[in-house]
Amino acid sequence: MSQQHSLQLDDRDRALLAGDEGEAMALAMRVVLRAAEISEATRLQDICFAHIDACFYNGQAHVDFARFMVDNGARLAVPTWTNTSLVSQVDTQVRPESKDPVVVSGARLLMDLYDQLGCEPVWTCAPYQLPGGPRRGDHIVGSESNAVTFYNSVVGARTNKYGDYLDVCAALVGRVPFSGLHTDEGRRGQVLFTLEAIPEALRREDIFHHVLGHHLGRAAQSRVPVIQGLPADSNDDQLKAISAAAAASGAVELFHAVGITPEAADLERAFQGRTPDAVIAITPDELIEARDSLSIGTRGRLDMVAVGTPHFSYTEFERLVPLLDGRRVHEGTLFYISTSRHVHALVAEQGWLTVLESAGVEVIVDTCTYFTPAVRGCRGRVMTNSAKWAYYAPGMLSVESVFGTLEECVESAVRGEVWRDHRLWQNKSWGARS
Amino acid sequence: MARSPAVAEQELGCALLSRIVITARVLNPGAATAKAMVLDEPLSFWGGFDASTGTIVDRQHPQRGEGVAGRMLILPSSRGSAGTPAGIAEAIRRGVGPAGIVLGKADVNVAVGAMVAAALYGVEVPVVMVGDADRARFRSGLRVEVDLDGRISIETQIDLL
């Protein structure tokens, strides 16, 4: 606690602390300072954007905090966007209040309070898919794990992973402790992962990026990984998959991909001129093991398909719609897509919702399917193309997850049972000898 | 930072009551005395913890099913999720949170959860940090006292017979 005095505070910091702008702002400043002391930051850093997670309901303490802020004159210093919620504000039938009155009404109240606080109500875990977000070099507040990793790695904005309350307090004050991934030193690549042993054809498959991310999360531990060997045309959806999977299975908050991500034009720059602490060649067997660890089930009747974790992008809809056009999901199978209201509007403009509706697909916004059962339930054998969903859902819901490609998800949904593209699942396709 | 322990010993009949004193770094101030509960692994207070009952629910966690209410919780750190601070605050609000928390890392999420709970509910749960060697001195069931300055005293009773 004694380090508070070594921090450089400006006049506004001191005024906030003294309560000049009310109790809420004083608490916000105290929380930011406490975080700075704990992380041993020597100064605070101005930010220009925040994406907060404290709007995701997990009990009355979330509501009490937001209400305290709203009732005591809190004012946001920067544009502040909201993460996914437990419920949808647009479609109240996604999780009807009658199912769980305390939780659902609490979640709705929490959303209203953050609306009142002046947040941009985007309710998405993939805010980087929306226009008007931060750019390279911007210091920001991120909280949702996949968004933190995507912003740091792919956008080149700078954030640590801020937990609930601190995310809001920093957005109110407009400052964060200058530490970790806000500093150049914190962003230096530490471990080099190479892909020479992995067939190039596989490296272009979407499923590879999910599996690579899942493996990376476990192998990188708390070090900043640098990946060499990703195809130069790797797209944002694939980089999203790496971000989400690596942040879920491990603690990766920043990765560099040589020749692709903004701070890694080449190896030299990714490591800031230093030598990697370790060089690890990823083996086919490791990837196969990581891939298989994401499936509890492998065959049989399919109860549900869940895609859009993190939220489905416009380009993912663009790929999915032709696969489903003129087809119909099996009557015993549910098919959910989670997305943001922003992307939903774009998809509606294209007339794609009609195609999806007649295929028997349900699109939900503001929320996600892995927290609690949505709409018509979520149980049994569930197929997903998301490593993050496959990793988390079996702990949150009673489901048997089956991990596969988007094409496998569609084909399985139509057949009502798990279908595998055997060409892709042969060990040979992953570079293994047998 | 933690210093080497001073051991005060006192004979009580056939048992030796000894006390280990550690000076910890204060991450959130408070004073509490409670029985220790030592966790072998980090814990996520969102997803891995039921804040309405104070129970560990992480399927992978060695102490799954155990309750933390009223205990001095000793753990390496929290895990992962941004939801940890609110999980801690909610458990404190409901009276099923730990009496105090001793961490092995300077964990901002745990400290902020306790700090906000103190601001909203007036319940002060100390959060302190010790080095690995000192953390290894705690045993579940031992009586632990933490004061406002981060002085920890662990009572151990050794039966001589």
pLDDT tens digits along B144-158 = 999 999 999 999 876
> The tokens of B117 are what?
């709970």
**A434 lies in a domain?**
no
Instruction: Assess whether A121 and A7 both reside in one domain.
Output: yes
Same domain, A148 and A263: no
Query: Could you say which of A233, A266, A293 is where a domain stops?
Result: A293
B133, B60, B143, B136: which is closest to B100 by C-alpha? B143
The per-residue pLDDT for A242 is: 98
**Preferred mutation among A39, A164, A179, A293 to probe B, highest tally of B CBs within 10 A:** A164
Is B47 in CB contact (< 8 Å) with chain A? yes
Judged against a pLDDT cut of 90, whether residue A372 lies above it is answered with no
pTM of this prediction exceeds 0.90 = yes
The pLDDT mean for chain A works out to 95
Provide the residue ranges of all domains of chain B, joining segments of one domain with +. 6-159
The whole-number pLDDT of residue B13 equals: 59
How many C-beta atoms surround the C-beta of residue B65 within 10 A? Answer: 9
Among A261, A293, A325, where does a domain finish?
A293
Across the interface, whether the CB atoms of A1 and B29 are under 8 A apart is answered: yes
Question: How near does any CA of chain B get to the CA of A158, in Å?
Answer: 17
Contacts of B113 in chain A (CB under 8 A): 163-165
Q: Is B123 on the interface with A (CB under 8 A)?
A: no
Whether residue A429 is contained in a domain is answered as: no
Residue range A380-392: mean pLDDT, rounded? 94
pLDDT tens digits, one per residue of A99-121: 789 999 999 999 999 999 999 99
**pLDDT for position A371:** 77
Q: A252 and A193 in one domain?
A: yes
For residue B160, the model assigns a pLDDT of 65
For residue A428, tell me if it sits in a domain: no
Give residue A4's pLDDT band: very low, low, confident or very high (50, 70, 90): very low
User: How many residue pairs bridge chain A and chain B with CB atoms within 8 Å of each other?
Assistant: 104
CA distances from A384 to A332, A335, A393, A405, B116 (A): 17, 10, 10, 8, 37
- What are the chain B neighbours of A24 within 8 Å (beta carbons)? none
Helix or strand run (H / E) with residue A43: none
Selected for mutation to probe chain A from B108, B120, B121, B147 (highest A CB count within 10 Å) is: B108
> ipTM value of the model?
0.91
Are A392 and B89 a contacting pair at CB < 8 A? no
Domain co-membership, A340 together with A404: yes
Q: Which residue has the higher pLDDT, A4 or A357?
A: A357
Do A161 and A286 lie in one domain? The reply is: no
Query: Residues of A at the B interface (Cβ-Cβ below 8 Å)?
Result: 1, 27, 30-31, 34-35, 38-40, 53-54, 56, 58-62, 64-65, 68, 143-145, 161-167, 251, 392, 395-396
**pLDDT reading at A60 higher than 80:** yes
Q: Are strands A304-312 and A191-194 parallel, antiparallel or unpaired?
A: unpaired
Q: Is residue A52 part of a domain?
A: yes
- Residue B32 neighbours by CB distance under 10 Å: 18
Q: Choose from A100, A165, A398 for mutation: most chain B CBs within 10 A.
A: A165
In this predicted structure, what is the pLDDT of residue A420? 96
Contact A251 B80 (CB under 8 A): yes
| Structural domain contains residue A382 | yes
Are both A276 and A328 inside the same structural domain?
A: no
Task: Retrieve residue B141's tokens.
Answer: 């069931």
Residue in B83, B119, B120 nearest the CB of A56: B83
A17 neighbors A29 (Cβ within 8 angstroms): yes
Assigned token pair, A32 = 């930011």
- Are A21 and A132 in the same domain? yes
**CB-based contacts of A90: which residues, under 8 Å, 6+ apart?**
A341, A365, A366
Check if B89 contacts A (Cβ < 8 Å).
Answer: yes
A194 shares its domain with A163? no
Give tens-digit pLDDT for A228-262: 999 999 999 999 999 999 999 888 999 999 999 99
Q: By C-alpha distance, which of A147, A172, A163, A158 is closest to A54?
A: A163
- With CB atoms and an 8 Å threshold, state whether A61 touches B116: yes
Q: Residue A369 maps to which CATH number?
A: 3.30.499.10
Which helix (H) or strand (E) is A166 found in, with range? helix A166-173
| Residue A362 confidence (pLDDT) above 90 | yes
Q: Tell me: the pLDDT tens digits for A38-47?
A: 999 999 999 9
Task: Enumerate the residues of chain A whose CB falls inside 8 A of the CB of residue B94.
Answer: 59
| Tally of domains in chain A | 3
**Residues A321 and A258 placed together within one structural domain of the fold:** no
pLDDT band (50, 70, 90) for residue A33:
very high
pLDDT-derived band at A158, boundaries 50, 70, 90: very high
User: A203: which residues sit within 8 A by CB, 6+ positions away?
Assistant: A195, A229, A230, A231
Given this model, what pLDDT does residue B159 score? Answer: 65
User: A39, B87: Cβ pair inside 8 Å?
Assistant: no
In this structure, which amino acid lies at residue A315?
T
Asked if residue A25 has pLDDT above 50, the reply is yes
Q: pLDDT for A209-226, tens place per residue?
A: 999 999 999 999 889 999
A372 occurs within a structural domain = yes
Residue A194 and residue A178 share a domain: no
A270 to chain B, closest Cα gap in Å: 25
Which of A31, A58, A68 is the closest to B86 by Cβ? A58
Cβ-defined contact of B120 to A161 (cutoff 8 Å) = no
Q: Quick one: pLDDT band at residue B9, thresholds 50, 70, 90? A: very low
Percent of chain A, pLDDT > 70? 98
Question: Are residues A161 and A82 part of one domain?
Answer: yes
Compare B14 and A196 and report the one with higher pLDDT. A196
State the pLDDT at residue A425: 92
A5 pLDDT band (50/70/90 cuts)? very low
Residues of B tagged active-site? 81
Tell which of A267, A293, A319 closes a domain: A293
Q: Which residues contact A135 (CB under 8 A, 6 or more apart)?
A: A155, A156, A157
Does domain B6-159 bear CATH number 3.50.30.10? yes
Give residue-wise pLDDT tens across range B13-62. 566 778 999 999 999 999 999 999 999 999 999 888 999 999 998 878 89
Please give the residue range of the domain that contains residue A264. Answer: 188-293
Chain A CB contacts of B46 under 8 Å are: 58
> Does A235 share its domain with A354?
no
